Amino acid sequence: MRFSLIIPAAGLSSRFHQSLLSSDKKVAPQSSKLFYRLDGEPVLLRTLRAFRAIPGIHETIVAISPEMRPEVQSWARVLKGAKVRWILGGKTRAESVYRALRKTSSHSEWIMIHDGARPMIKPVAIKQVLKAAPGWGGVILARKVVPTIKKVLAEDGHIRETVDRDTLYEAETPQLARRELLLKAYKENPNAFQATDEAGLLEAIGARVRVVPHGDWNPKLTTLPDLMIAQAMTEKNGSKEVRVGIGFDTHRLVAGRKLYLGGLVIPSPKGSLGHSDGDALLHAIADAILGAIGAGDIGEWFSDRDPKHKNIRSTKILSAILAEAKRLGWEPYHVDTNVILESPKLYCHKPFIRKSVAKCLGLSEKDVSIKARTMEGLGPVGEGLAVTCQAVVSMRKVSS
């Protein structure tokens, strides 16, 4: 089955921000609740990832707010190969779905809609919805109501009756609809933009809609407590995932160049030869970070064949790589380094190098180790012809 996927994600997150203001938890505000992190990646990106293993997706259209554009545009590298289009959503969820619906291909017989704020959806549940489609105008994922439900008078809270819950289900997403029926439902319902789900629109025109019950946890993250529970559920083994990267760099030492180490200029008659400022220590640290997050090496990011990188400060290189790590949901929490250099001696400089590296990485000095070594006169380093640096960086996934 080929279908178009619509992700409405343009909501104002007003209830989330209200819960944020009333909470005693210190959480940095984001433009959208969909940019808070679960297991190291934004909620919306995690939602999109859930569908990458689903066959038959003809296209994916995500309805967002204008404020979200800068962030989602930075996801191109992660979503490489996925047919994702970003459009501006409407004032309501239903209007956002309609705007996306009008952009879908006429070759798609089916439209699947899934809330951007439901990142815990399992591929098996999505496949169950698709499997149930033949013979129906629409199919929705739903959870059987478990709590006892009371019907109450609004005036005074008086209980009128206990509702029979055997036939009650809580509607969730994904919801699947035949494209022509959904278009018809929007056209014939003057209040379509106030609808809370696609099943309701289909029901209004007499279409047959089926429920696919499930027992997994597929919450819509509406408030801060919802997010915190999801974060606790996604942290592996009760603690955050960690990785370790190894970096290595060597530069020739020549007269007429400055010797940069850890972002500082070290007094020396010779300096590092390189396309950049030649800071072998920061290069080793940057390479270790790239290794830990699986993002290539420093040469792929800052090629020595690109003239725009000529004499670039290595602090800028490290800053760009840290930004990429953060975007992917990773941060360094400890760095151990070796600076192998015959001359000048670094004993008096190590505290300052340590402080500079800690500042570059946003760490405390206690989490940074700078060790100085010599080669006892052996090899190019021992002969004073080169400087070599090694780095081991420990990284952890973060939630923000």
Contacts with 154 (C-beta within 8 Å, 6 or more apart), sequence order: none
Give the confidence band of 239 by pLDDT, cuts at 50, 70, 90.
low
Hey, which of 20-24, 94-98, 215-219 has the most confident mean pLDDT?
94-98
**232 or 222, which is more confident:** 222
Residue 400: its pLDDT value, please? 46
Q: Look at residue 288 in the predicted model and tell me its pLDDT.
A: 92
For 53, the token pair is 């293993």
Q: What percent of the chain has pLDDT over 90?
A: 57
Quickly state the pLDDT bin for 176 (edges 50, 70, 90).
Answer: very high
Report whether pLDDT(235) > 70. Answer: no
Q: Which residue has the higher pLDDT, 236 or 76?
A: 76
**Given this structure, which CATH class describes domain 242-397?**
alpha beta
Tell me the three-class secondary structure of the chain, residue by residue: CCEEEEEECCCCCHHHHHHHHCCCCCCCCCCCHHHCEECCEEHHHHHHHCCCCCCCEEEEEEEECHHHHHHHHCCCCCCCCCCEEEEECCCCHHHHHHHHHCCCCCCCCEEEECCCCCCCCCHHHHHHHHHCCCCCCEEEEEEECCCCEEEECCCCCCEEEEECHHHCEEEEEEEEEEHHHHHHHHHHCCCHHHCCCHHHHHHHCCCCEEEEECCCCCCCCCCHHHHHHHHHHHCHHHCCCEEEEEEEEEEEEEECCCEEECCEEECCCEEECCCCCCCHHHHHHHHHHHHHHCCCCHHHHCCCCCHHHCCCCHHHHHHHHHHHHHHCCEEEEEEEEEEECCCCCCCCCHHHHHHHHHHHHCCCHHHEEEEEECCCCCHHHHCCCEEEEEEEEEEEECCC
Q: What is the pLDDT of residues 36-82, one digit of tens each?
A: 988 778 999 999 999 988 999 999 999 999 999 988 988 877 787 67
Q: For 365-387, how does the pLDDT look when each residue is reduced to its tens digit (9 = 90+)?
A: 888 999 998 888 888 988 888 89
State the pLDDT at residue 102: 97
pLDDT at residue 28 tops 90:
no
Quick one: 55 exposed, middle or buried, by C-beta within 10 A (0-12, 13-18, 19+)? Answer: exposed
Mean pLDDT for the chain overall: 90
Q: What is this structure's pTM?
A: 0.64
Give the pLDDT confidence score for residue 237 in this predicted structure: 45
Q: Is the pLDDT of residue 285 over 50?
A: yes
As a whole number of Å, the CA-based R_g of the chain is: 28
Statement: 3-234 belongs to CATH 3.40.640.10: no
Q: Per-residue pLDDT tens for 325-336?
A: 888 888 898 999
Q: Which residue has the higher pLDDT, 239 or 293?
A: 293
Per-domain residue ranges for the chain? 3-234, 242-397
pLDDT at position 30: 82
Amino acid 201: pLDDT: 97
d(CA 90, CA 277): 49
Residue 137: the pLDDT is 97
Residue 41 and residue 247 in contact, taking contact as beta carbons nearer than 8 Å: no
Q: What is the pLDDT of residue 240?
A: 62
Q: What is the mean pLDDT of residues 209-231?
A: 92
Interaxial angle between packed helices 280-293 and 350-361, expressed in degrees from 0 to 180 and rounded to the nearest 10: 40
Kindly tell me the sign of the dihedral angle through the C-alpha atoms of 40, 43, 44, 50. Answer: positive
Which position has the token pair 């949901």?
Answer: 329
Write out pLDDT tens, residues 90-149.
Answer: 999 999 999 999 999 999 999 999 999 999 999 999 999 999 999 999 999 999 998 999
Whole-number percent of the chain with pLDDT over 70: 97
